[in-house]
Chain A
Amino acid sequence: MKPVLWALATLTVGLLAGLLGLLVLRGAGDLSWGFLLGMPAAAGRAGGIWPVLVSTALLVGGALLAVLPLGVGTALYLAEYAQDGRLVRLIRTLIEALAGVPSILFGLFGFSLFVVRLGWGWSLAAGSLTLALMLLPTVIRTAEEAVLAVPRDLREGALALGATRWETLRRVVIREAAPGILTGAVLALGRALGETAAVLLTAGSDLGLPASPLDPGRSLSVHLYILATEGLSEGRAYASALALVTAVLAVNLTANLALERWRRP
């Protein structure tokens, strides 16, 4: 049994290494500051990806802005105020169900509501709000864990002095839980960067530099998709892929390391 399992593990780790190696090998050549900061030309066959980076940043930033208040608020309610009962169980079930919804369906929903019915058209705003919904379960889960991890005696100390629940939360608990909550946000960021289908259906794929939230925009993942499937430029596709993977892995690594440190100091 042992040699088979060793071979399997080597294969799996090798797969990851091979994947990254391939991207570096074929993509590092095109990956330069000029590429990152330059404007695209010939529909992406040449030139840089600056508008794509801007769109991605706005998209993801907007998503985090939308999801954090709602997600952390929900987590606070579940961790601090909710009593075990039918309502709370229902809430948890529904949030768990949300986590299981395939990403394409978020895209359909975002398209139907924001792009069509609200009349925004393909827009960064539509994309951000759709992404925010996708990130909601992750943010709620990590924020709740962070809040629950705050030791009871800290809370009890504040309550014993006559503070209300909210005052205790605001001035003691949240401060303690902040690193954990932030880490959750960073994890969500990583997921948002990698999302393609839902973004394609809501933010569109326009290569222009967006000027307002109602402008369409192309995220890095969508750009990679288009370059790849339309065969526009292999070098630039690899470079885009490398940039994307680097960003996502760096973000995830930071978040996971921080989570480990914070869970087991």
Chain B
Amino acid sequence: MTDLWGRLRREAAVRAVLLLCALGASAAVLLIAFFVVAEGWPALGALPGARWDPEEGHFGVQAMVWGSLAVTGGALLLAVPAGVGMALFLTEVAPPSLALVVRPLLQSLAGVPSVVYGFVGLQVLVPAIRRALGGPGFSVLAGACVLAVMILPTIAAIAEDALRAVPVAYREGAVALGATQWQVVRRILLPAARSGLITAVVLGLGRALGETMAVMMVTGNVAAPPGSILDPVRTLTGNIAMEMGYAVGRHREALFASGALLLAMVMALNAAARRVGR
């Protein structure tokens, strides 16, 4: 009987340990949010300002918010049609054997580290933009292009799932009425997959906002709102990464505060994506 008691006690102990693991894992995000907000709390009020000039005590992040939005918006403009297009390619056009090869290739684009994209962008894209379109090359355009390639796999994967979820019966009904393939896509599939497609866009947006290295390496270092897509900018994330190494006091607090702002934006987007997907 003692053996049985021992086993039952061990069972209870294990269960408790595993529960602790789960609670610990779920506490992580709360901990992170708490730290970031707590460290940045004193400087939160300084964020809405228009100038970012740590030496002079100005910590307004407007320029960086514009920078983030410009680069992210540009990336979506490029990546959404391309991502939906790739999804359509995989569901409508590609023979299944080809799709089996292309899909993992597309997803491996997502596996390439951010810093490598930044590096190649720095070496190839920035000089190319400078030569072809003028300006310093370090620009919103460069950031948007690099970012677009990075979020393309995410958008394509979610879009493909959304398209495949459309009931076959709708397609059959449309075909039986004499619709061409393109008409089926445009008037039945895309509208029916709409909520999934929106989710793809919103999630892509969230990832783009949170991206740091690649964008930082190709957008230059100018803390001012961009006037055109050829202007250099600084994003919220880049700002933090660049200055954290040597920031002290109020400066450091302001960086944390901008981190809190970023966290709030991304969390809101993810919550919106979940709601739309319902």
Contact = CB atoms under 8 A, between A and B. Distances in A.
Contacts of B82: 8, 12
Interface in B107-130: 107-109, 111-116, 118-120, 122-124
Interface in B171-202: 181-182, 185
Interface stretch (B18-26, B43-51, B52-60, B225-233): B18-26
Interface string A1-21: 110111011001101100100
B156 to A, nearest CB: 9
A154 B237 CA distance: 49
B217 A201 contact: no
A194 B28 contact: no
Interface in A77-135: 77-78, 81-82, 90-91, 94-95, 97-98, 100-109, 111-113, 133
B115 A133 contact: no
B15 to A, nearest CB: 6
A164 B13 CA distance: 12
Contacts of A102: 209-212, 237, 262-263, 266
A12 B86 contact: yes
Contacts, number: 231
B116 A107 contact: no
A15 B244 CA distance: 33
Nearest to A80: B18
A100 B206 contact: yes
B222 to A, nearest CB: 15
B165 interface: no
Interface string B14-41: 1101111111111111111001100100
A73 B22 contact: yes
A109 B181 contact: no
Interface of B: 7-8, 10-11, 14-15, 17-32, 35-36, 39, 82, 85-86, 88-89, 92-94, 102, 104-109, 111-116, 118-120, 122-124, 149, 152, 181-182, 185, 206, 209-213, 217, 237, 240-241, 244-245, 255-256, 259, 262-263, 266-267, 270
Interface of A: 1-2, 4-6, 8-9, 12-13, 15-16, 19, 22-23, 69-71, 73-74, 76-78, 81-82, 90-91, 94-95, 97-98, 100-109, 111-113, 133, 136, 140, 164-167, 190, 193-197, 200-201, 221-222, 224-225, 228-229, 234, 237, 241, 244-245, 248-249, 252-253, 256
